[in-house]
Amino acid sequence: MEITGKIIAVLPAQSGVSQRTGNPWKSQEYVIETHETYPKKCCFKIFGEDKINQMNIQLGEEMTVSFDIDSHEYQGRWFNDIRAWAINRNIQPAPGVGVAPVANAAPMGAAPVADSAATAPFPPTQEPAEESSTDGLPF
């Protein structure tokens, strides 16, 4: 799954030692906010010190986050775990007040397609049709 937006919070890193393996671990959570009419916020986690350093997510960045969702039960309650596995910083905010999704944006990995309607004059010019009936209707 993917979500595109702006990083609005970088939460403190958490670390510890696995009871099962004895190896140290580190994770960090971030909050991203979408640019929809009714913005949504999503808290996601990056697990592993190497991935945290590699992704180097900063407050205020625009990006698309690829993630997996998993749920687990603990003492009769269910919790969601949203883990990011990739980020794409090639997101360009729209000019003006606030930030909106980029118009004519192609999906990730796809080549942009030229929009011929955007370059054509509006409304398109039409030649008058020959009148074959007496009511004056064009159909």
Dump pLDDT digits (tens) for 36-58: 999 999 999 999 999 999 999 99
Average pLDDT over residues 99-126: 48
| Cα 26 to chain centroid, rounded | 25
Q: What pLDDT sits at residue 97?
A: 40
Q: 10 phi and psi, to 5 degrees?
A: -120, 110
pTM tops 0.75, yes or no: no
Q: What pLDDT sits at residue 139?
A: 56
Q: What pLDDT sits at residue 93?
A: 55
What's the residue count for the chain? 139
Residues β-bridged to residue 88: 64
β-bridge pairing 24-33 and 62-74: unpaired
34 with 4: CB under 8 angstroms? yes
13 with 63: CB under 8 angstroms? no
Q: What pLDDT sits at residue 112?
A: 47
Q: What pLDDT sits at residue 20?
A: 92
Dump pLDDT digits (tens) for 51-88: 999 999 999 999 999 999 999 999 999 999 999 999 99
Query: pLDDT at residue 134 above 70?
Result: no
Mean pLDDT score of the chain: 80
